[in-house]
Amino acid sequence: MEENEELNDESLENQDESQDSLVKVTGMYKDWFLDYASYVILERAVPAIEDGFKPVQRRIMHALKELDDGRYNKVANVVGHTMQYHPHGDASIADAMVQLGQKDLLIDTQGNWGNILTGDGAAASRYIEARLSKFALEVVYSPKITEWQLSYDGRKKEPVHLPVKFPLLLAQGAEGIAVGLSTKILPHNFNELIDASIKHLKGKRFTLVPDFPTAGIIDVTNYNDGMRGGKIRVRAKISTLDKNTLVINEIPYGTNTSSLIDSILKANDKGKIKIKRIEDNTAAEVEILVHLPNGISPDKTIDALYAFTACESSISPLGCVIEDNKPLFIGVKEMLERSTDNTVELLKAELEIQLGELEEQWHFASLERIFIENRIYRDIEEEETWEGVIAAIDKGLKPHISHLKREVTKDDIVRLTEIRIKRISKFDLEKAQQLIDSLEERIAETKHHLEHLVEYAIAYFKELKKKYGEGRERKSEIKIFDDIEATKVVIRNTKLYVNREEGFIGTSLKRDEYVTDCSDIDDIIVFTQKGEMMVTKVDSKVFVGKNIIHVAVFKKKDKRTTYNMIYKSMKGGPSYVKRFNVTSMTRDKIYDLAGDKASSEVLYFSANPNGEAEVVTIMLRQSGSIKKLKWDLDFSDVLIKGRSSKGNLVTKYAVKRIELKEKGVSTLKPRKIWFDDVVNRLNVDGRGELLGEFKGDDLLLVVDQKGIVKTIPPDLLTRFSDDMIVLEKWNPDKPISVVHYVGDKERFYLKRFLIENPNKEEVVIDEDPKSYLELVSTDWRPMLEVEFIKPRGKDPKPNLEVNVEEFIAVKGIKAIGNQLTPEKVKSINVLSPLPYEEPKETRTEDIEVVDEEQIDNDDTDIETKNDGSDQTTLF
């Protein structure tokens, strides 16, 4: 028993010792993880503000400089050389070098370095070659002002930062993800950065926006100076090749042709868009052909490509850099200012070193001249010791050195003793003086640059732009994007069915009643016999309420669709009529339109897409002493109000039935349409130029610079090209006047015509390649002025005024017209037209539309309890 007790005591002691030696995980996590996170942030992922390089990029550039002899080096050789400084494997170095090479700024590449447009990777590093570009050699290196440090193993020296005299970080951009930190600095245009640097040095304001090597269209409205919280939108450049073909010539930054095509195919598979096939003809430039089936609108498909594919994406910049071993969040404006100020300091340091070297050269050249011209070298012939030689030379120099800028040192005298006899014997006093004079000129010039450092820096930037700016013009086009509503451009890829009695709607009820085509992102509006309304998402099967009387795809903010309804709120109670719009709502919420009584019932209901107001016949049940059992009700007599209003009293007696007597016409005012030239789109929100008020069958007249004339419906989804020269409401009775140059006749012709085939494109110039459209006038009675070329040695012919109405009658659109003049024409201008009073259009009386949008947006069901003072009794 005693032995067992001793053993137990020993085991307890050992257990206590083992517990004392345990280390808590929290301590390890705090020390080791923070060390790792700091290393990743500072040494791998985030660039330095001083030179714009990440450490691996800086080491690659240093290795390239060490290997530089003007010839190409195998990338594998450069990678191996970089590994002397970089403590990581060759794969990471090779990848970083390929990314640098693809930016086409610092590295002159040879071989297959991949393609940023197609996403193809580079060949193996043993097959491709590189050398420093002339720009890099001029801008990145200056060993005399570079601060050096030991490499990771202490065997080599590497730069702490490279003395980059250019805003390189903004030119190349940078992206990196560290531990708990990331950076995304977008690339900017080379020439615009130089211009901005010059403006900063001159004290002027400047703005910077990104420019991408893949080109594309960008909206920088919310760029926010490249700081956190900013966003830019990027789009592919899509144009219409013909009515069944779209062509993509530029792609958004962050994508390539492969990923872009994949996103288009996925959208097609999901039914968001409808395409026939895709051709990728990309080589040096992007060309993707998207073929459309017959009957598919190209304009709508372009919008759908932006809405549902990678043809449009947003990029969120994040300006994060390293300064003094700490992350710093700054905008691109401050980055450029810091870089420009740093460039000035680097130029100053170079000039100071250059001045010191020139003054040193001048000092020794002057000493050498004194030493040889005054034959001081003969004073050392009698000297037997080195000290005596130094002293003799020092003594011989003293009478002649009063003009020198510093004292003569022993090292100077030692250098004089190293001059060879051959040089002394062939010494040319005149050449020596010329050398001293040239050094004095260079010294004065350097001092002038130092005294006017800002002007010197501006000249430096201008020289950079002159030498390297050609071919680096902006690639990305800056525009303000229009917002695309996905529900308006999505392809209706499924069918909606309804079981009215049971109260179900959905896409899987194929045995029930078909309603309409729809998409999987649509909202559906439903009305029931009880007077309830609900809006819900499309699904395979949804219960919305029994006895459905109307179901349709819901359009948000639709102020034109008007619902006409007659209802009774309780059994045996009075009947009411009301007209209302539904512009907004809460999805899946039930709205009571006929009161919340269990016995409420809809007696008549119609949905009218253009605010039509029909006439119905009301028939009452025979009861008591009712004299009039039948009369007509015209919905145009009822004002359009909110959906929660009670409406007007129809009758207090029981209604037998209601029959449609006469279909209605629209009671809405013609729709005002504007053209916004910023986004080249139509709108009804009052942005841009008012084109007019449009009824259902009104058309737009469109003429472009290629001579194409057409009339089209005012569809808000239409995209207008930049070469459009006429856009207005079309008046079928107003002639169009065109001056065009006929190539084979080498003369200008004038014609007037009416459009006889609406909704058809027609060309008003002939097919000769030299023919072109000069001007178009849509005035009723236009006047033109023709200015002639001055003949040599003669006075110019006086300008000719042309009354177009008298000059030519209205003819067919294909007619060539009448020759304007046989003389050579300098210019043709449109003058003020002759007065004309257009016939006034007879219009039906407009019915007022009461705007209830604020009530709808607040989603507050306000029941208008009409008393005798505001009720309109229709019987």
Q: Which two three-digit tokens encode residue 551?
A: 């179901």
pLDDT at residue number 22: 66
pLDDT at residue number 401: 83
Cα–Cα distance between 552 and 534 in angstroms, integer?
A: 11
Q: Which residues of 380-396 are buried (b: 16+ CB within 10 A; e: fewer)?
A: beeeeeeeebbebbbeb
What is the mean predicted confidence (pLDDT) over 687-701? Answer: 89
pLDDT at residue number 869: 33
More confident residue, 11 or 360: 360
Cβ atoms within 10 A of the Cβ of 476, count?
A: 25
Q: How confident is the model at residue 840 (pLDDT cuts 50, 70, 90)?
A: low
Given the residues 127, 253, 306, 741, the one annotated as active site = 127
pLDDT at residue number 9: 47
In the chain, DSSP finds a helix count (H) and a strand count (E) of: 20, 48
pLDDT at residue number 709: 93
Share of the chain above pLDDT 70, in %: 93
CA-nearest of 286, 220, 252, 681 to 478 is 220
- For the question of residue 127 being annotated catalytic, the response is yes
Cα–Cα distance between 122 and 96 in angstroms, integer?
A: 12
pLDDT at 7 over 70: no
C-alpha 81: how far from chain center = 40
Cα–Cα distance between 141 and 241 in angstroms, integer?
A: 49
Q: Which two three-digit tokens encode residue 131?
A: 């050398």
Cα–Cα distance between 166 and 131 in angstroms, integer?
A: 20
pLDDT at residue number 3: 42
Share of the chain above pLDDT 90, in %: 59
Report DSSP state, residue 15: H
* Placement of tokens 């949804």 in the chain: 542
What is the mean predicted confidence (pLDDT) over 694-721? Answer: 89
| pLDDT tens column, 218-265 | 999 999 999 999 999 999 999 998 889 999 999 999 999 999 999 999
Cα–Cα distance between 61 and 693 in angstroms, integer?
A: 65
pLDDT at residue number 271: 87
What's the mean per-residue pLDDT of the chain? 87
DSSP H or E stretch at residue 132: strand 129-132
3-class SS at 537? strand
Residue 296 pairs in a beta bridge with: none
**pTM score of the predicted model:** 0.80
| pLDDT tens column, 288-331 | 999 999 888 898 999 999 999 999 999 999 999 998 888 999 99
Phi/psi at 526 (5° precision):
-135, 135
pLDDT at residue number 689: 92
pLDDT at 484 over 90: no
What is the mean predicted confidence (pLDDT) over 517-544? Answer: 93
| pLDDT tens column, 21-36 | 666 677 666 777 778 8
What is the mean predicted confidence (pLDDT) over 120-130? Answer: 94
Q: How confident is the model at residue 841 (pLDDT cuts 50, 70, 90)?
A: low
Strands (E) in 571-629, as ranges, are: 575-580, 591-592, 601-608, 612-620
| pLDDT tens column, 569-601 | 888 789 999 999 998 889 999 999 988 888 899
pLDDT at residue number 352: 94
Q: Give the Cα-Cα-Cα angle 360, 362, 365 (nearest 5 degrees).
A: 110
Q: Which two three-digit tokens encode residue 768?
A: 């000769």
Cα–Cα distance between 229 and 317 in angstroms, integer?
A: 8
| pLDDT tens column, 859-873 | 433 333 333 333 333
| pLDDT tens column, 747-775 | 999 999 999 888 788 999 988 889 999 99
* Placement of tokens 């610092």 in the chain: 106
pLDDT at 38 over 80: yes
Q: Give the Cα-Cα-Cα angle 660, 663, 667 (nearest 5 degrees).
A: 125
Cβ atoms within 10 A of the Cβ of 75, count?
A: 28
CA-nearest of 181, 183, 154 to 36 is 181
Going by their DSSP bridges, the two strands 217-219 and 477-478 should be labelled as parallel
Q: Which two three-digit tokens encode residue 770?
A: 């030299």
| pLDDT tens column, 44-98 | 889 999 999 999 999 999 999 999 999 999 999 999 999 999 888 899 999 999 9
pLDDT at residue number 857: 37
Q: Among 20-34, 139-153, 507-521, where is mean pLDDT lowest?
A: 20-34
pLDDT at 147 over 90: yes
Cα–Cα distance between 289 and 310 in angstroms, integer?
A: 15
Q: In a 10 Å sphere around its CB, with 0-12 CB exposed, 13-18 middle and 19+ buried, how is residue 146 labelled?
A: middle
